[in-house]
Amino acid sequence: MSLDLFSAFIIGLLGSGHCIVMCGGITTMLTSALPAANKYQKQQILTNQPITFQKKNSKAALVLCYHIGRIASYSFIGAIVGFTGSIAAKNIGLPLTSLRMFSALFLILLGLYLGQWLMWLNRIEALGKNLWHVISPLASKAIPVDSPTKALSLGAVWGWLPCGLVYSTLTWSLASGNMLTGASIMLFFGLGTLPALITLSIGFTQIKKILVNSVFRKTMAIMLISFGFYSFVVAYKQLF
C-alpha cells in the first residue's frame, strides 16, 4: 500500500467522529428501515416456514449496499479530481509537489475544523451546496429503503453531501495527478470511515459516544494537524 493510500485511510479513520455527525443519521435510518422484514421473519418462525437467506440477511445487505454506494461516489469524484490534477500538471505546468503542499494545508485546516478551533472549511462546504441541491432530490426515490438497490442508490447520492472532511481528502486526489490514483485515495478514505459507521449500524452506541466526545475529537484533530505539518514540510523540501 502506498503512503498516499495509507494516509487517506488514516484521515477517514481519524475523522470518524465527523462522519457520525454527518452520515450517522442515514445509517441509523437504514438499520430501522426493515420492520416489515423482521415481522415477516417472525411469521415464518411461527408457521414453521423456512427463512430465506435473503430475508435473514436483508438488514446487513442494506447497510453494506449503502456504504458501497457512498464509497463508490467518493471514488468517482476522486477520479475526476485526480484527472483534473493531471491536466493542471501537464497543460499548465503546475508542479505536483506544490499541489501536495496545498493538500497539506487543507489537512491542517481539517484538523482545526474537526477540533472546532477554526471553521474555515464551512466556507468550502458552502461551495458544494448548490450541486447538492441538484443531486439531493434523487434520494427521495430511494425512500423507503426496502431493497439493496435503493440502499445502493441512497449511498451513491449521499456520497455527494457537502463535507469538509471529504473535500480535504479530495485535495490529495488532486495532488496525485492521476485519475486512477485519485479514485484509489478516495476509496481508501471511504474504507477508513467504515469502522465507525458500521459499528453504529449494528447498534454499538458506546462507540458513538467515544467518537463524538470532545476530548477524543480534539485529540484526533491534533493528530491530523501534526500530519498536515509533516506532509507540508516533506513537500516543501521536495519542491525546494
pLDDT confidence of residue 16? 77
pLDDT in tens, 79-132: 999 999 999 888 877 788 888 999 999 999 999 998 889 988 888 888 888 888
The answer to whether 26 touches 158, Cβ cutoff 8 Å, is yes
Cα–Cα distance between 75 and 131 in angstroms, integer? 17
What percentage of residues in the chain have a pLDDT greater than 90? 35
> What is the pLDDT of the chain when averaged over all its residues?
82
Q: pLDDT for 222-236, tens place per residue? A: 999 999 999 999 989
pTM: 0.84
The answer to whether 111 touches 11, Cβ cutoff 8 Å, is no
Residue among 158, 163, 170 nearest 121 (CA): 163
Q: For residue 40, how many C-alpha atoms fall within 13 Å in the half-sphere facing its CB?
A: 14
Query: What per-residue confidence (pLDDT) applies to 25?
Result: 66
Question: 41-55: buried (b, 16+ CB within 10 Å) or exposed (e) per residue?
Answer: beeeeeeeeeeeeeb
Q: Residue 101, Cα to own-chain centre: how many angstroms?
A: 22
Length of the chain: 240
SS3 32: coil
- In this structure, of 24-28, 99-103, 119-123, 163-167, the range with the lowest mean pLDDT score is 24-28
User: Which of 22-26, 33-37, 130-134, 197-201 shows the lowest mean pLDDT across its residues?
Assistant: 33-37
Place 35 in a pLDDT band, splitting at 50, 70 and 90.
very low
Least confident interval from 81-90, 141-150, 185-194: 141-150
Average pLDDT over residues 143-160: 88
Query: What CA–CA distance (Å, rounded) separates 144 from 60?
Result: 16
Residue 2's CB: how many other CB atoms inside 10 A? 12
Position 42 scores a pLDDT of 43
